[in-house]
């Protein structure tokens, strides 16, 4: 039977060690003693027995103790007393299990551990429950791989287009959130993203020719038209993203996606690579090119066999269609991903035309990590 929902309680993680023990693990504060499973375990077992949980001890070949305990409602506890420095207890239960009882169990374990280890605990930490198998997925990791739990409470839209999986989830804090191929792209709260990728208010777009690559959520287009450019051309490959955002991301796009053409804009639902190539051939130029493509590229071109080659192709074509005094804007990556940022900057040095660049870091509310934005211009 597939459980509908499993609540994980990840309670006391108790790193304890002495100075002879090998390096204790990153979450160990100031280690003091080794954990002796022969004396620690029997006392802890009594707590599980009081909870009518049945023990199965597992062979560890002398590496501490590992026991699993099954109790009421399929409740499962895993007790691991590592030889060095760490005691972990994981408690898994179904959502409908008795939370008060579980809290009592955790409190009893915590108290007992403090007694058994006789004040030698250097750190005890009860982690919040992970909710697995829930209808609305709340875990969207940061770009640098840390687990983040959002407050999503509703699946507003989900569909696979010919190019990607499109999800729009509702978050209590951020409004509707667009997630493409499991990468959180933009929330209705994220005007800061749009402002940053438009040059943070330093540019005057009035009377200018602007090209937006991607941008299917309509955020940039909606802000840009307010500045009365001569013409904005937006190239996005995915009609389904545009349609979904038109309906469910109105906090971002307003009514701009209601029509594919307006006084000073046109939306072309096309792959940007052939269109850029055509512009290069025609000698067409733009005062601004804003690359708002997905971070994970959607490529229909056979000539690019790696992400970097694709990014460089887009960059090169964009710079080719950029007016000599024009500017190219794009988002980069999480500020912590310094290696990826350096690699990106390396690509800037490999273009057919020499460029200079600057970057700035912006806090985009729903990203929960600082984000780097680039401005690039011809030297
Ligand atoms: N118009 C918004 C398009 C977004 N472009 C790609 C950026 C994706 C970044 N993912 C951020 C994940 C943050 N944790």
> Is residue 118 very low, low, confident or very high in pLDDT (cuts 50, 70, 90)?
confident
The verdict on 256 and 112 lying in the same domain is no
* Ligand 1: centre distance to CA 226 (Å): 23
The verdict on 89 and 19 lying in the same domain is yes
Of 58-62, 84-88, 92-96, the one with minimum mean pLDDT is 84-88
**Count: domains in the chain:** 3
What CATH code is carried by the domain that includes residue 161?
Answer: 2.30.140.10
The verdict on 214 and 117 lying in the same domain is no
Per-residue pLDDT reduced to its tens digit, 226-266: 999 999 999 999 999 999 999 999 999 999 999 999 999 99
219 lines ligand 1 (CB under 6 A): yes
The verdict on 18 and 94 lying in the same domain is yes
Q: How many CB atoms lie within 10 A of CB 337?
A: 18
The verdict on 300 and 326 lying in the same domain is yes
The verdict on 84 and 147 lying in the same domain is no
Q: Look at the block and give the residue holding tokens 């207890």.
A: 89
The verdict on 219 and 267 lying in the same domain is yes
Q: What is the mean pLDDT of residues 125-148?
A: 92
Helix runs in 130-266, H state only: 191-197, 219-224, 239-248, 250-253
The verdict on 280 and 356 lying in the same domain is yes
The verdict on 173 and 76 lying in the same domain is no
Q: Which residue has the higher pLDDT, 131 or 223?
A: 223
Give the model's pLDDT for residue 145. Answer: 93
130 lines ligand 1 (CB under 6 A): no
Contacts of 346 (CB under 8 A, 6+ apart): none
CA distances in angstroms from 90 to 12, 30, 107, 203, 343, listed in the order given: 8, 23, 13, 54, 40
303 has pLDDT over 90 = no
369 lines ligand 1 (CB under 6 A): yes
Given 97, 190, 217, 292, the catalytic residue: 292
* Ligand 1: centre distance to CA 265 (Å): 23
Domain with 207, as residue range(s), is: 189-378
Among 192, 331, 344, 374, the mutation site with the greatest number of ligand 1 atoms within 8 A of its Cβ is: 331
Beta bridge partners of 85: none
Question: Which two three-digit tokens encode residue 94?
Answer: 């179904």
Question: How far apart are alpha carbons 237 and 294 in whole angstroms?
Answer: 11
The verdict on 228 and 91 lying in the same domain is no
101 lines ligand 1 (CB under 6 A): no
What CATH code is carried by the domain that includes residue 39?
Answer: 3.30.160.110
Q: Are 76 and 5 in contact (CB under 8 A)?
A: no
292 in catalytic set: yes
The verdict on 155 and 22 lying in the same domain is no
The verdict on 120 and 148 lying in the same domain is no
What CATH code is carried by the domain that includes residue 369?
Answer: 3.40.50.150
Question: Which two three-digit tokens encode residue 211?
Answer: 């090209």
SS (H, E, C) 17-78: CCCCCCCCCCCCCCCCCCCCHHHHHHHHHHHHHHCCCEEEEECCCCCCEEEEEECHHHCEEE
209 lines ligand 1 (CB under 6 A): no
């Amino acid at each position: 039977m597939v459980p509908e929902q499993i609540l994980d309680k990840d309670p006391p993680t108790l790193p304890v060690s002495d100075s002879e023990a090998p390096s204790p693990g990153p979450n160990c504060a100031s280690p003091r003693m080794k954990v002796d499973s022969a004396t620690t375990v029997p006392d802890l077992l009594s707590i599980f027995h009081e909870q009518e949980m049945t023990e199965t001890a597992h062979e560890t070949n002398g590496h501490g103790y590992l026991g699993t305990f099954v109790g009421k409602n399929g409740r499962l506890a895993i007790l691991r007393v590592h030889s060095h420095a760490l005691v972990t207890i994981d408690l898994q239960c179904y959502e409908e299990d008795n939370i008060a009882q579980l809290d009592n169990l955790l409190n009893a374990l915590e108290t007992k551990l403090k007694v058994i280890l006789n004040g030698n605990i250097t750190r005890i930490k009860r982690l919040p429950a992970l909710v697995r198998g829930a209808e609305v997925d709340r875990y969207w990791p940061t770009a640098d791989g840390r687990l983040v739990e959002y407050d999503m409470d509703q699946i507003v839209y989900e569909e696979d287009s010919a190019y990607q999986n499109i999800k729009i989830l509702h978050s209590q804090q951020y409004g509707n959130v667009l997630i493409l191929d499991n990468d959180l792209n933009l929330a209705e709260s994220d005007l800061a993203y749009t402002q940053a990728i438009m040059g943070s208010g330093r540019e005057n777009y009035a009377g200018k020719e602007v090209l937006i690559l991607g941008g299917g959520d309509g955020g940039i287009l909606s802000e840009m038209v307010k500045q009365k450019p001569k013409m904005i051309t937006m190239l996005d490959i995915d009609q389904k993203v545009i349609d979904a955002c038109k309906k469910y991301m109105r906090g971002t796009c307003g009514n701009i996606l209601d029509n594919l053409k307006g006084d000073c804009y046109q939306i072309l639902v096309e792959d940007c690579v052939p269109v850029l190539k055509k512009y290069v051939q025609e000698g067409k130029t733009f005062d601004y090119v804003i690359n708002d493509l997905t971070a994970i590229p959607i490529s229909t071109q056979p000539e690019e066999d790696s992400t970097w080659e694709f990014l460089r192709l887009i960059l090169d074509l964009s710079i080719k269609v950029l007016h000599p005094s024009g500017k190219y804007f794009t988002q980069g990556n999480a500020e912590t991903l310094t290696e990826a940022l350096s690699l990106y900057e390396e690509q800037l040095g490999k273009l057919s035309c020499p460029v200079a660049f600057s970057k700035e870091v912006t806090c985009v509310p729903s990203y929960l990590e600082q984000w780097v934005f680039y401005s690039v211009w011809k030297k």
